[in-house]
Structure 1
Amino acid sequence: MTTSNSAAQQRMEDLLGTAEAQVLQRWRQMAETPEDELRELYVAFRAALSDPQGDFSDVRGLLAEFSRARARQGLTPSETSRAVFALKEAVYEVVEATGDTETLRAYIWFARLVDDLGLYTFETYSAAREKIIRDQAEALLELSTPVVKLWDGIIGVPLIGTLDSARTQVVMEKLLQMLVDTGSEHAVIDITGVPAVDTQVAQHLLKTVAAARLMGAECSISGISPQIANTIVTLGIEFGDIVTKATLADALAHALRRSGVEVTAPRSARISVRAERS
């Protein structure tokens, strides 16, 4: 730190100590923030200014937490930064009242310092907000990819919406874990709610089926509409020996039969299910 900056730092520390009550009151009014939050920051500011090395790490730590708290509250980054920049205005009123040239020069140094800290607050807020969005997206992803038990030894994965790499990974992990937890040997992946199947989506489905097979489970894919069937043929997508069915009911009936359960549909249209006798 240069001699001039050191002198400015000392002068501003003295000023903040002398006019603490006035500055805090005006800062609270302009920042529209509870005084206890600002007081902690104010004390950290004074401690940093009194440090010969000018260490503002504690101030930055408090500002980071201040930014994260406001991000969780849904406030904008501009509102958060303005709360910090308001300190300059509060201090300037005191500096202007002194009419001292040296104090004004020291204030210019202080204003630049607050500007840097305000930008740091903005960056921290943005990072915190991005994390919140990522966490929410992951939570929604978990909710949008349920794995349910359809029958003893049979689980189902109803997919709705676009199937991308990230979602495929979640589906695969949940499917494999459910296979282990339930000891199931059959899985039905239903794509009735998938708007379109292209080469990429098909590859994701094939990877999921391959992973399930490594666990010793047979997979079938249901929800193949005429439009999707036409797209698959047009694109030349090969599902190989993977069983595909038009409806979830057809796929479940197939899985039941493979499990040794006979499915019959009497004339009354009621469906009865009975285990085959050996």
Structure 2
Amino acid sequence: MADHEAAGERNSSAQEVGEFLRRRREQIAQRWADETLFRTVFTMSRDEAVEACRAVVEALAEVAVADQVENLGAAGFIAVRDQLGRMVASRTRTGAGSTQIADEVAALRTPVAELLRSELDGSPSGRAEECSVTLTSLMGTLRLVVLETALTAGQELIDRQRLQLLEVATPVIKLWDGVVAVPLIGTLDSARSQVVMESLLDAVVSQQARFAILDITGVPTVDSLVAQHLMKTVAAARLMGAECIVSGIRPAIAQTIVHLGIDLGSVITRASLADALAYALHEQGSVVVDRNRTGTSAR
């Protein structure tokens, strides 16, 4: 019986805090607009900052009325998560760390608590204390939501940067009309293999390439997984109408491939990139003349 009464009291205080937030939304928004978190993000227009503050206050009110003050996944936070994410990203770009951002969110409680105390002035002390505790829990949840959003945004940024690095690390080079090459350096995993395949196929289309060279001189080791990725890339290039040549197979890698029992019989291979280019040029009917050997000085 006592537990039911306590739950009812908590629910009542949460609803009271929610109703208070809605009544005082404009005043809270005006005060928050001058706080560091909003002031440093919305530097061009205070009206824009106030509007953002109103949205966050309304979200908090919805969460409180639903008695979800400690629920990070409460429906009320959904509407402002994107906005909070943009704000966090903006603060991060200016050099603010997660601890500083968390402190800025925590600072939002003070102006709200002051308004709540003034409104509850004269109420029974127990009631005022319950509402104050509820508000503290609610603002603590907002702080956690912001930190969670910051971590998610940070991970997404890391993923995007990782993909960009993979793209930079796997350039497609035009060696000749109709001939493109991808010089691979370092470990070839599933993610990078996908980038290699996509980049190579895009180059085959854009350059109208008849030959695509995969040079693995800089790949330290070749195992069954790497070989499988290479075979898939070769097959995809063929479907796009380009013949794929694998070059740079060093003696150690050749022995590994044999020991693993990997069949590269259907793949054209050459010892070096120069040999692969020479093969592609020959197949296209191009003739390269060494002027020094023919007695004509190079210009």
What TM-score range do you get, normalising by the shorter chain?
0.7 to 0.9
Deviation at 1:252, TM superposition (A): 0.8
Report what 2:35 is aligned to. 28
**1:182-213 residue CA offsets vs partner (Å, 9 max, x unmatched):** 32221211111212211111111111111112
Say which of 98, 103, 107 aligns to 1:77.
98
Q: 1:90 to 1:218 in 2, by over 3 A?
A: same
Contact 1:33 1:83 in 2 (8 A): no
The one-letter code sitting in structure 1 at the alignment partner of 2:186 is G
> Taking structure 1 as reference, are residues 90 and 111 closer, same or farther at Cα in structure 2, changes over 3 Å only?
same
Letter in 2 for 1:77: S
Q: TM-score, normalised by structure 2?
A: 0.73
- 1:181 alignment partner, one of 200, 206, 214: 206
Q: CA deviation at 1:93?
A: 6.7
Verify: 1:202 aligned to 2:230, yes or no: no
SS of the equivalent of 1:261 reads coil
Q: Which residue of 2 aligns with 1:144?
A: 169
Deviation at 1:165, TM superposition (A): 1.9
Larger displacement relative to structure 2 (221-230 or 3-12): 3-12
Structure 1 residues 74 and 99, CA, compared in 2 at 3 Å: closer, same or farther? farther
Q: Distance in 2 between matches of 1:38 and 1:111?
A: 23
1:220 is matched with which residue? 245
Q: Which amino acid aligns with 1:125?
A: A
**Quick one: which amino acid aligns to residue 35 of structure 2?**
R
| One-letter amino acid of the structure 2 residue matched with residue 261 of structure 1 | S
- When residues 222 and 135 of structure 1 are mapped into structure 2, their CA distance, relative to the original with a 3 A threshold, is same
Q: Is the 8 A contact 1:264 1:271 kept in 2?
A: no
2:15 counterpart letter in structure 1? S
Going from structure 1 to structure 2, the CA distance change for 1:146 and 1:207 (only over 3 Å counts) comes to same
Mean alpha-carbon deviation: is it higher for 76-85 or for 146-155? Answer: 76-85
Identical columns (%) = 41
SS for the counterpart of 1:224 is coil
- Kept in 1: contact 2:186–2:219 (CA 8 A): yes
1:65 to 72, 77, 86: 86
Q: Which residue of 2 aligns with 1:276?
A: none
Task: Show structure 1 runs of 5+ residues with no match.
Answer: 273-278
Cα shift readout 1:99-125 (whole Å, capped 9, x = no counterpart): 972433321111111111111111111
Residues 2 and 230 of structure 1: CA distance in aligned 2, closer, same or farther (over 3 Å):
same
CA contact (8 A) 1:189 1:221 kept: yes
Determine if contact 1:72/1:129 at 8 Å carries over to the other structure: no
Deviation at 1:78, TM superposition (A): 2.9
The one-letter amino acid of 2:217's match is T
Does residue 6 of structure 1 match 2:15? yes
> How large is the RMSD of aligned CA atoms in angstroms?
3.7
1:162 aligned partner, one-letter code? T
Tell me the distance in 1 between the aligned counterparts of 2:84 and 2:295: 66
TM-score (norm. length: structure 1): 0.77
